[in-house]
Amino acid sequence: MFVDAVNVYVKAGDGGNGIVAYRREIYVPKGGPAGGDGGRGGDIVFEVDEGLNTLMDFRYKRHFKAKRGENGQGKGQHGKGADDYVIPVPPGTTVKDTDTGEVIADLTEHQQRAVIAQGGRGGRGNMRFASPRNPAPEIAENGEPGIERNVSLELKLMADVGLVGFPSVGKSTLLSTVSAAKPKIAEYHFTTLAPNLGVVETADQRSFVMADLPGLIEGAHEGVGLGHQFLRHVDRTRLIVHVVDMASMEGRDPYEDYKTIRQELVEYDEKMLERPEIVVASKMDMPGAEENLQAFREQLGQDLTIFPISSVTRDGLKELLFTVADKLEEIPKDTTPIEEKEERVIYRHQEKEKPFTISREDDGAFVLKGAELEKLFKMTDFTRDETVNRFARQLRSMGVDDALRERGAENGDIIRILDYEFEFVE
């Protein structure tokens, strides 16, 4: 089974906790703090493996979680950082954040890596908080939570040549004739439900990768038929070979077929007009094909080379493959990552997210939310009074106390953060 799109959940490792500890050594009457820092959590990393050509493995495992860092120890010993969780993906994989639509990575080359979710840093031990005013602090941080996100993986084939055209125009037969690929061939529509790849070698020992892509129908850019399951793969091809059935075996007009497919490509991405194209007139061994080809040339009305071929008799195949190889030598490989294509601005101002928001629930409790506030909360060790007081000072400096008073909070009111509740104290 060929799988070219999948959604997965990834969670980077949390940082290890820092600890509160003190030196207790002979001849050191007042040893001081000796709590070590926690280790950093492991990153979620995607790495290209050129031996893969499908996202099939992700159908059976959709959740990936890296290990957390080890906690700090006494005598100033820091916890060990966790190893990164490296996940192999096939070349041509684009990774997007499902919630925001942001392109995180465009992975095309063997062993290319991208950090998809970053592990949390380790919490600081009490050695880090020592100061002249407080030489023996009872303060330590919990590890920072690792990033978690839902991501969508989309595979776009890394083929040099893409065969496009209506269903049953002879694309699969052409590929099976000029390469060792064995695509399914039958006399019904959408025989090819997944792209097929084949390596083609010309008589002068030049080679290239050709992809037989699922057939298009009108409305494919809106998802009709195989829709985007086909169109996403055209993005990677350097040369489009447009196959047109000149025998009109389906009763359609060849010129109308050509116009419809061209329009679908443009509707999907206007840049398709700039993609080099070769027109192939297939099934020329069938009755009426020569007359249809003549009419097609007249209707086309432009200086576009058309290659009449027959995959059955192999007429015209040698000239077609030589021309394709010549064209590919003129077309440079596109190595520009997707991010640079979509965003050419070097710097774009982004409004900073509010550190917290306040809402009120039906039971009268004030609910505090916000990524920055929740991270501080998770990194606070509430088993020690000194760290609780530090958290209260952090909230005050963020303006939480004043904001609650403006919303009408009074002494004794319930304040809720995540699944925990506190009383508001003036």
pLDDT at 353 over 60: yes
Structure tokens at 319: 């000239």
Task: Confirm whether residue 397 is marked as ligand binding.
Answer: no
Nearest Cα to Cα of residue 159 among 143, 136, 175: 175
| 402 assigned ligand-binding residue | no
Mean pLDDT of 365-380: 91
Degrees to nearest 5, angle at CA 338 with 334 and 344: 100
Is 311 among the annotated ligand-binding positions? yes
Burial bucket for residue 383 (CB in 10 Å: 0-12, 13-18, 19+): exposed
Parse the chain into domains and list their residue ranges.
1-155, 163-334, 357-423
Annotated binding-site residue? 249: no
Decide: residue 46, CB within 10 A, 0-12 exposed, 13-18 middle, 19+ buried.
Answer: buried
320/239 Cα distance (integer angstroms): 13
The pLDDT, as a whole number, for residue 218 is 47
Q: Is 215 annotated as a binding residue?
A: yes
Provide the pLDDT for residue 8: 95
The annotation status of 167 as a binding-site residue, yes or no, is: yes
Task: Please provide the average confidence, as pLDDT, over all residues in the chain.
Answer: 82
Cβ neighbour number for residue 229 with a 10 Å cutoff: 18
- Residue 107's nearest CA partner among 80, 87, 126 is 87
SS3 content of the chain, % helix, strand, coil (to 5): 25, 25, 55
pLDDT band at 7 (very low <50, low <70, confident <90, very high): very high
Higher per-residue confidence, 36 vs 184: 36
CATH topology assigned to domain 163-334: Rossmann fold (3.40.50)
Tens-place pLDDT, residues 125-158: 999 999 988 888 999 999 999 999 999 998 876 6
Collapse the DSSP code of 361 into the 3-class scheme (helix H, G, I; strand E, B; otherwise coil) and give the result. coil
Residue type at position 419: D
Q: Binding site annotation covers 172?
A: yes
Whether the per-residue pLDDT at 161 is higher than 50: the answer is yes
Tell whether 375 is in a known binding site: no
Cβ neighbours, 10 Å, residue 276: 13
Q: Which residue has the higher pLDDT, 263 or 367?
A: 367
Residue 221 tokens read as 């850019």
d(CA 228, CA 279): 22
Query: Is residue 173 a known part of a binding site?
Result: no
Higher pLDDT, 339 or 355: 355
In percent, the amount of the chain with pLDDT more than 70 equals 84
- Give me the pLDDT at residue 231, please: 62
Kind of pairing between the strands at 85-89 and 44-48: parallel
Show the tokens assigned to 406. Answer: 């403006």
Q: What is the CATH number of domain 357-423?
A: 3.30.300.350
- Please give the pLDDT value at position 82: 95
pLDDT per position as a tens digit, 217-256: 544 334 444 434 556 667 678 888 888 888 887 778 888 8
Nearest to 124 by CA among 43, 16, 13, 14: 16
175: enclosing H helix or E strand: helix 171-178
pLDDT at 220: 39
Contact 211, 172 (CB under 8 A): no
Give the gyration radius of the chain's Cα atoms.
31
214 annotated as ligand-binding: yes
Residue 284 φ/ψ, nearest 5 degrees? -75, -5
Query: What is residue 222's predicted lDDT score, i.e. its pLDDT?
Result: 44
Average pLDDT over residues 80-109: 91
193 annotated ligand-binding residue: yes
User: Do the annotations mark residue 213 as ligand-binding?
Assistant: yes
H/E element holding 292? Answer: helix 289-300
Residue 212 among known ligand-binding residues: yes
CB atoms near residue 190 (< 10 Å): 13
Q: Is domain 1-155 annotated with CATH 2.70.210.12?
A: yes
Give per-residue pLDDT as tens, 167-220.
777 888 888 888 765 544 444 344 444 567 777 888 888 888 888 776 555 443
Q: Is 265 annotated as a binding residue?
A: no
Is 21 annotated to bind a ligand? Reply is no
Does 199 show up as a binding residue in the annotation? Answer: no
Would you say 359 is a known binding-site residue? no
Q: Which two tokens stand for residue 356?
A: 């917290």
Tell me the residue type at 187.
E
**How far apart are the C-alpha atoms of 360 and 230, rounded to whole Å?**
48
| CA–CA separation, 426 and 422 (whole Å) | 13
Separate counts of helices (H) and strands (E) for the chain: 9, 18
191 assigned binding-site residue: yes
pLDDT surpassing 90 at residue 116? yes
> Does 325 carry a binding-site annotation?
no
113: helix, strand or coil: strand
Place of tokens 């077309």: 331
